[in-house]
């Protein structure tokens, strides 16, 4: 299984949140964990926001360091012209935001060569769009639109 993680799922590998255990369990059994290049910036932004909102700066630094150490282990989908063109279409087709569209396009790019892909995301609209395109989603149970 290939586990594609958008930023909302990726951060759960490093920060204890609701559904972190499910994402961590899926990552342990996945042959490959994939994400978009944009997730790097999104995850760092999420950690910076936590720090601005009062999280312990030392703890955030530890998480950021661990994230940086593990980043090279992910299959990173580049922001190629094909991915960006597909993402632009998803903005129109599904009304997704830019990053969500890029993640969906990146996952679909991976699925072209690795069909056993599970899409992990914690955004309802993005989950619905992924399910509508035939992707298996984590957490399970999202109905296609």
- Cα–Cα distance for residue pair 137/130, rounded to 1 Å: 7
Residue 48 inside a domain? The answer is yes
Task: Domain of residue 115: give its range.
Answer: 2-138
Predicted TM-score (pTM) of the model is: 0.93
pLDDT one-digit tens code per residue, 75-133? 999 999 999 999 999 999 999 999 999 999 999 999 999 999 999 999 999 999 999 99
Residue 130 inside a domain? The answer is yes
Residue 30 inside a domain? The answer is yes
pLDDT one-digit tens code per residue, 30-87? 999 999 999 999 999 999 999 999 999 999 999 999 999 999 999 999 999 999 999 9
Residue 143 inside a domain? The answer is no
79 three-class SS: coil
CATH assignment of the domain containing 88 = 3.40.50.1010
């Amino acid at each position: 299984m290939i586990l594609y993680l958008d930023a909302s799922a990726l951060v759960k590998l490093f920060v204890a949140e609701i559904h972190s255990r499910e994402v961590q369990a899926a990552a342990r059994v996945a042959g490959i964990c994939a994400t978009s290049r944009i997730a790097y910036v999104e995850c760092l932004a999420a950690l910076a926001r936590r720090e601005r909102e009062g999280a312990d700066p030392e703890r955030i630094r530890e998480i950021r360091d661990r994230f940086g150490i593990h980043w090279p282990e992910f299959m990173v989908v580049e922001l190629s012209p094909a991915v960006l063109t597909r993402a632009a279409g998803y903005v129109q087709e599904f009304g997704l935001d830019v990053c969500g569209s890029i993640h969906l396009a990146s996952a679909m790019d991976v699925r072209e060569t690795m069909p056993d892909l599970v899409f992990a995301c914690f955004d309802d609209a993005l989950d619905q769009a992924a399910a509508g395109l035939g992707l298996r989603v984590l957490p399970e149970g999202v109905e296609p639109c």
